[in-house]
Amino acid sequence: MKITEQIEKAAGKTLFSIEILPPLKGKDIKSIYDGIEPLMDFAPAYVDVTYHREEYIFRRNQAGVMEKISTKKRPGTVAICAAIMNRYKVEAVPHLICGGFTKDETENALIDLHFLGIDNILALRGDNIKNEPHFIPEPGGNTNSLELIQQIENMNNGVYMDQELTNPFPTDFCIGVAGYPEKHFEAISYQNDLNFLKRKVDAGAKYIVTQMFFDNEKYFNFVKSCREIGITVPIIPGLKPLTTKKQLDILPKIFFLTIPEELSKNILAVADDRAVKEVGIEWTIQQSKELKAAGVPVLHYYTMGLSEATSRIAKAVF
Ligand code: FAD
């Protein structure tokens, strides 16, 4: 079922959803099941599965020459979606990115997803790969999420890349996109970022999932700004409990977000990461309760494959 239909059906009740990462190459599907099994008790409306593109590493070959090798640390997004849907009868939402895909390859990926009965897609540009200074699209690929949305929408209207097809079957994907309460780091301004988000919605996105934030005011202001420029689709808040002291340093660097003074003070005041986890869980519970009371459509948790913290939060909130 489409995410938007689930939200409509819930008639104002806040739904629970999670995001998981494919396991590292070499691990099997059991690590996914172990991670999400405890969360199934809270009947998630859907499970997002992230997509990780290849990275390049340099390795010296037998002749002593440095070789550029492409490697993918976390493969398997589509297969994991199929496995989860089959095992738990829950909606799985694959993340689809522009980076690393030509438009033809994207079309083939969409055909596979359609065959698998996947109704929802989170359409993203993807980040630049480690050794690149900025995002470089694949030659013949989509350059940003707007173009990817347009390609999916085309297929929803029966327009494929292959123009020789006669009467091609229209797909019916419900498209989600990313939104940034604290602005995407590359956007020249907050307003510019919002305007681009509006274009994504006008192009066919049916719902927005936010980057994680730790101060609900950021989300409320973001929703207000979106509504002011005519974005009417559901805006799903994404939350993550802090579990280590190191995250105080790395999350702002990776995701370009801020951590409220009070939260960082509470974390710095405790002795070890076991205690940090307690602070992080309690903070996310309070955030979740306030957002739920405000009537958000879904509370979406970035689990990073670890269920314990999310499970405790869900128990306290749902
Ligand atoms: P876009 O929507 O394409 O926007 C990119 C930037 O271009 C923005 O700054 C936008 O404001 C700016 N822009 C403004 N005007 C224009 C214009 N006219 N033309 C072009 N660009 C313009 N990454 C992964 O690799 N895999 C994942 O699974 C994944 N999941 C994510 C899930 C969520 C909920 C979120 C919030 C992010 C996720 N990401 C993932 C990270 C995401 O790929 C990065 O944040 C990426 O840098 C931007 O993706 P986007 O789809 O928001 O980009």
User: Taking a C-beta distance cutoff of 8 angstroms, is the pair 101, 138 a contact?
Assistant: yes
At residue 295, what are phi and psi to the nearest 5 degrees? 85, 30
Alpha-carbon distance of 199 to 1, in angstroms, equals: 25
If you average pLDDT over residues 77-105, what whole number do you get? 96
Query: 195: which 2 tokens?
Result: 């305007």
Tens digit of pLDDT for each residue in 136-162?
A: 999 999 999 999 999 999 999 999 998
If you average pLDDT over residues 163-182, what whole number do you get? 94
Query: 76: which 2 tokens?
Result: 């398997």
pTM higher than 0.85 for the full model?
Answer: yes
Class of domain 3-317: alpha beta
Residue in the structure block whose two tokens are 């593109």: 53
User: Taking a C-beta distance cutoff of 8 angstroms, is the pair 120, 176 a contact?
Assistant: yes
Query: By three-state DSSP, how is residue 316 classified?
Result: helix
Query: By three-state DSSP, how is residue 39 classified?
Result: helix
Q: Does 184 sit in the ligand 1 pocket, CB within 6 Å?
A: yes
Question: For the chain, what percent of residues have pLDDT higher than 90?
Answer: 84
User: Taking a C-beta distance cutoff of 8 angstroms, is the pair 17, 236 a contact?
Assistant: yes
Scanning the chain, the segments in alpha helix (DSSP H) are: 3-10, 30-36, 77-88, 103-115, 145-156, 190-203, 216-228, 246-255, 261-268, 273-293, 307-317
Q: Does 129 sit in the ligand 1 pocket, CB within 6 Å?
A: no
- Write down the pLDDT at residue 56: 74
- Write down the pLDDT at residue 74: 84
- Write down the pLDDT at residue 132: 85
Candidate from 106, 143, 196 with most ligand 1 atoms within 8 A of CB, to mutate:
196
